């Protein structure tokens, strides 16, 4: 699949790399130059952290990478695309993990849940042995940290599951999921407002000279929720139209806003995937995210995640932001 045009492709190799990625070097004096060649700089360290929207997870984003803990990192996830783009120009360590929360990034061990597989959309071997907090991949020499997390802090996966079940019970009518969850969402967002800056502060303390880039969430749900066909498993299955509109305006957009505001308050950089992915939601013809299923035959689960196009888009946005300084 063709990649989105990126700054790296346009500007070339090391010339495109700014101080965000390459630490400045001191030119040798004339005497030093005549005695021995300059030592090649060590590739700067880049830590890629996050949840399933970073890790890839679903079959539509490729095979699993090694080692298989099983955080379900895939070969087509945006950190792995960036790794291939930059090659030896950076030392990228991808420790993103499906199901991760902000606490799993900076404080907690996490028991990975694997990837969604037939017949039931769960990994039969899950849960897997705990993996360390993702911050363990960050050291004082790390120059770039990218982190995409926050949805699991709100319990978004469980909300999606419940919305599908409630929509089926109500035969597609009304807003049963809104009725169940709407009063709880402000409190969950408030907790994330407190937890997200704590995570960013811990990452900066671990790598004082690193630049931190937070990555938001793409346009899952179209502005016009009537584009989504009730009962279609390649979209949101039995989610009601009213609940889809509610989830977009009351969960997804506020989630991105919390991440943006927490990032801005610390003078870090927010990579906004939302506007650029408009028109490419789960329910659009050219969709960059897959619905409950990627395909019926063969049966492939997606449980509402970016597909290969969505990950390629994210890779370009992150690359362009980091390489653009």
Give the percent of the chain with pLDDT over 90.
84
CATH number at residue 63: 3.40.50.1110
Share of the chain above pLDDT 70, in %: 87
Decide if 70 is inside a domain. yes
Bridge partners for 73 per DSSP: 56
Residue 280 falls inside a structural domain: yes
Are 50 and 151 a contacting pair, CB within 8 Å? no
| 276 touches 288 (CB < 8 A) | no
Q: What is the pTM of this model?
A: 0.91
Partners of residue 212 on adjacent β-strands: 145
Given a cut of 60, whether residue 35 has pLDDT beyond it is no
- DSSP secondary-structure letter at 237? B
Instruction: For residues 299-316, give the mean pLDDT.
Output: 98
Residue 2 lies in a domain: no
**Residue 113: inside a domain:** yes
141 is in which domain, residue-wise? 7-323
Q: Report whether pLDDT(1) > 90.
A: no
pLDDT tens-digit series, residues 36-84: 443 346 899 999 999 999 999 999 999 999 888 899 999 999 999 999 9
**Omega cis (within 30) before 128:** no
The model's confidence at residue 268, banded by pLDDT at 50, 70 and 90, is: very high
Residue with the larger pLDDT of the pair 4 and 189? 189
Return the structure tokens found at 188. 């969950």
Say if 299 falls within a structural domain: yes
Number of structural domains found in the chain: 1
Task: Give the phi and the psi of residue 244 in degrees, each rounded to 5.
Answer: -65, -45
3-state secondary structure of 144: strand
Measuring CA to CA, which residue among 308, 294, 288, 172 is closest to residue 234? 294
What does pLDDT average to over the chain? 91
Alpha helices by DSSP H, the chain: 7-11, 30-35, 52-55, 78-86, 102-106, 156-169, 176-181, 185-206, 241-247, 253-265, 308-323
* Residue range 262-281: mean pLDDT, rounded: 98
C-alpha span between 42 and 128 (Å, rounded): 34
Q: What is the number of other CB atoms lying within 10 angstroms of the CB of residue 122?
A: 15
CA–CA distances in Å: residue 204 to residues 23, 155, 197: 17, 26, 10
Helix residue spans in 94-155 (DSSP H): 102-106
On whether residue 227 sits in a domain, the answer given is yes
Mean pLDDT of 275-288: 98
Residue 49 is assigned to a structural domain of this protein: yes
> What pLDDT is attached to residue 19?
54
Q: Is residue 40 part of a domain?
A: yes
């Amino acid at each position: 699949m063709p990649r989105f045009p990126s700054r790296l492709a346009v500007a070339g190799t090391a010339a495109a790399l700014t101080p965000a990625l390459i630490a400045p070097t001191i030119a040798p004096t004339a005497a030093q130059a005549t005695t021995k060649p300059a030592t090649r700089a060590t590739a700067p360290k880049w830590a890629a952290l996050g949840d399933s929207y970073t890790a890839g997870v679903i079959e539509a984003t490729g095979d699993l990478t090694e080692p298989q803990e099983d955080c379900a990192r895939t070969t087509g996830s945006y950190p792995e695309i960036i790794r291939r783009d930059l090659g030896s120009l950076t030392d990228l360590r991808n420790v993103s993990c499906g199901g991760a929360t902000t606490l799993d990034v900076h404080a907690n061990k996490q028991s990975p849940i694997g990837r969604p597989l037939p017949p039931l959309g769960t990994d039969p071997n899950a849960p897997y042995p705990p993996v360390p907090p993702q911050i363990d991949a960050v050291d004082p020499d790390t120059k770039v940290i990218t982190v995409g997390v926050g949805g699991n802090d709100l319990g978004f996966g469980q909300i999606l599951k419940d919305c599908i079940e409630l929509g089926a019970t109500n035969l597609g009518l009304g807003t049963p999921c809104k009725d169940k969850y709407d009063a709880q969402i402000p409190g969950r967002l408030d907790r994330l407002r407190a937890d997200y800056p704590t995570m960013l502060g811990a990452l900066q303390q671990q790598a004082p000279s690193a630049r931190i880039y937070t990555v938001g969430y793409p346009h899952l749900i179209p502005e016009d929720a009537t584009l989504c066909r009730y009962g279609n498993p390649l979209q949101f299955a039995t989610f009601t139209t009213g609940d889809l509109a509610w989830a977009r305006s009351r969960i997804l957009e506020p989630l991105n806003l919390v991440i943006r505001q927490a990032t801005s308050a610390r003078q870090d950089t927010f990579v906004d995937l939302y506007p650029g992915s408009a028109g490419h939601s789960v329910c659009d013809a050219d969709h960059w995210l897959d619905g409950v299923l990627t395909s019926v035959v063969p049966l492939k689960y997606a449980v509402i995640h970016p597909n290969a196009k969505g990950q390629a888009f994210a890779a370009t946005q992150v690359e362009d932001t980091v390489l653009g300084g």
